[in-house]
Structure 1
Amino acid sequence: MRSFLSFLLLGFWGACVHALSSSGSRLLVVLEDDQSSYSALWADLKARGYDITFESPKSDKLSLFEHGEKSFDHLLILPTKSKGLGPALAPKLLLDFINDEGNILLALSGKSSTPSSISSLLLEMDLHISPDRSSIVVDHFNYDTLSATDKHDVLLLPLPNPTRPDVKSFFSGEGVLALPRPVGQSLGNASPLLAPVVRAPETAYSYNVKDDSPSAEDSFVTGSQLALVSTMQARNSARFTVLGSAEALEDKWFSASVKSPAAKAAVTSVNREFAKQLTGWTFQELGVLRVGKIEHYLSDEYGNIEGEVNPTIYRIKNDVTFDIELSEYEFDKWVPFKVPSKDDIQLEFSMLSPFHRLNLEPKTRTQNSTIFGVTFTTPDQHGIFSFRVNYNRPFLTNIEEKHEVTVRHFAHDEYPRSWSIRGGWVWIAGLWAVIGGFLAFVLVWLYSAPVPSAEANIRKVK
Structure 2
Amino acid sequence: MRSFLGVVTFLFTAVASAVSTKGNRLLVLLDDVAQKDGYAKFLGDLTARGYQIVYDTPRSEQLSLFELGERQYDHLLFLPTKVKGLGPKLTPNILIDFVNAEGNILVAQSSTHSASTSIGNFLAELDITLPAGRTGLVVDHFNYDTITASEKHDVLVLDAPEPVRDGVKSFFSPSADAVLALPNTVGHTLGAGHLLTPVLRAPSTAYSYNPKEQFDAVDADDLFAAGKQLSLVSVFQARNSARVTVLGSADMIQDSWIEAKVSRPKGSKVTVANREFAKALTGWTFQELGVLRVNEVEHHLTGDNETNPGIYRVKTDVTYGISISEYAWDSWKPYNLPENDALQLEFSMLSPFHRLDLSPVSVTKDATVFGTSFILPDQHGIFNFRVNYKRPFLSVVDEKHTVSVRHIAHDEWPRSFVISGAWPWISGIGATVTGFVAFCAVWVYSKPTPKAGKAKKTQ
Q: Is the 8 A contact 1:207 1:216 kept in 2?
A: no
> How far apart are the structure 2 equivalents of 1:23 and 1:188?
28
Identity %: 55
Residues 99-145 of structure 1 deviation map (CA, whole Å, 9 limit, x = unaligned)? 00000000011012222221111110000011132211111111111
Which residue pairs with 2:220 in the alignment? Answer: 216
1:87 alignment partner, SS class: coil
> How far apart are the structure 2 equivalents of 1:248 and 1:379?
57
Return the offset for 1:352. 2.0
Residues 411-453 of structure 1 deviation map (CA, whole Å, 9 limit, x = unaligned)? 222111123234434544555576678889999999xxxxxxx
Correspondent of 1:351 among 341, 349, 352: 349
Q: Is the 8 A contact 1:360 1:374 kept in 2?
A: yes
Which residue pairs with 1:452 in the alignment? Answer: none
**What is the letter of the counterpart of residue 256 of structure 2?**
K
Q: Is the 8 A contact 1:76 1:105 kept in 2?
A: yes
**What is the letter of the counterpart of residue 69 of structure 1?**
E
Alignment of 1:115-126 (within 5 A): 115-126=116-127
1:355 alignment partner, SS class: strand
Which residue pairs with 2:243 in the alignment? Answer: 239
Return the offset for 1:407. 1.4
> How far apart are the structure 2 equivalents of 1:429 and 1:31?
93
> How far apart are the structure 2 equivalents of 1:427 and 1:280?
73
Matched, 1:24 2:28: no
Matched, 1:94 2:95: yes
Change (3 A) 1:435 1:164: farther
2:134 alignment partner, SS class: coil
Matched, 1:35 2:36: yes
2:38 alignment partner, SS class: helix
Matched, 1:287 2:290: yes
Count of matched residue pairs? 448
Which residue pairs with 1:366 in the alignment? Answer: 364
Which residue pairs with 1:376 in the alignment? Answer: 374
Which residue pairs with 2:209 in the alignment? Answer: 207
1:83 alignment partner, SS class: coil
Which residue pairs with 1:182 in the alignment? Answer: 185
**What is the letter of the counterpart of residue 178 of structure 1?**
A
Q: Is the 8 A contact 1:154 1:181 kept in 2?
A: yes
> How far apart are the structure 1 equivalents of 2:75 and 2:8?
25
Which residue pairs with 2:261 in the alignment? Answer: 257
Change (3 A) 1:19 1:294: same
Change (3 A) 1:432 1:255: same
Residues 236-288 of structure 1 deviation map (CA, whole Å, 9 limit, x = unaligned)? 0000000000001111111111111142x110000000000000000000000
1:343 alignment partner, SS class: coil
- The farther-off stretch of 156-165 and 403-412 is 403-412
Alignment of 1:29-428 (within 5 A): 29-33=28-32, 34-172=35-173, 173-174=175-176, 175-189=178-192, 191-210=193-212, 211-212=214-215, 213-263=217-267, 265-299=268-302, 305-425=303-423, 427-428=425-426
Return the offset for 1:9. 6.6
Q: Is the 8 A contact 1:207 1:215 kept in 2?
A: no
2:256 alignment partner, SS class: helix
Provide TM-score, normalisation by structure 2.
0.91
2:283 alignment partner, SS class: helix
Provide TM-score, normalisation by structure 1.
0.90
> How far apart are the structure 1 equivalents of 2:284 and 2:23?
13
- The farther-off stretch of 10-19 and 87-96 is 10-19
> How far apart are the structure 2 equivalents of 1:86 and 1:432?
94
Residues 263-314 of structure 1 deviation map (CA, whole Å, 9 limit, x = unaligned)? 2x11000000000000000000000000101111111xxxxx3231111121
> How far apart are the structure 2 equivalents of 1:239 and 1:8?
36
> How far apart are the structure 1 equivalents of 2:51 and 2:62?
20
Gapped runs of 5+ residues in structure 1?
A: 300-304, 447-455
> How far apart are the structure 2 equivalents of 1:8 and 1:59?
38
> How far apart are the structure 1 equivalents of 2:252 and 2:356?
45
Change (3 A) 1:367 1:429: same
> How far apart are the structure 2 equivalents of 1:445 and 1:202?
104
**What is the letter of the counterpart of residue 364 of structure 1?**
S
Change (3 A) 1:380 1:203: same
RMSD in angstroms over aligned alpha carbons?
A: 2.7
**What is the letter of the counterpart of residue 31 of structure 1?**
L
Residues 145-175 of structure 1 deviation map (CA, whole Å, 9 limit, x = unaligned)? 1111111111111111111102111112331
Change (3 A) 1:443 1:196: same
Q: Is the 8 A contact 1:205 1:216 kept in 2?
A: no
> How far apart are the structure 2 equivalents of 1:229 and 1:433?
85
Return the offset for 1:25. 0.5
Q: Is the 8 A contact 1:240 1:282 kept in 2?
A: yes
1:329 alignment partner, SS class: strand
> How far apart are the structure 1 equivalents of 2:210 and 2:73?
36
Return the offset for 1:15. 3.4
Gapped runs of 5+ residues in structure 2?
A: 445-450, 455-459
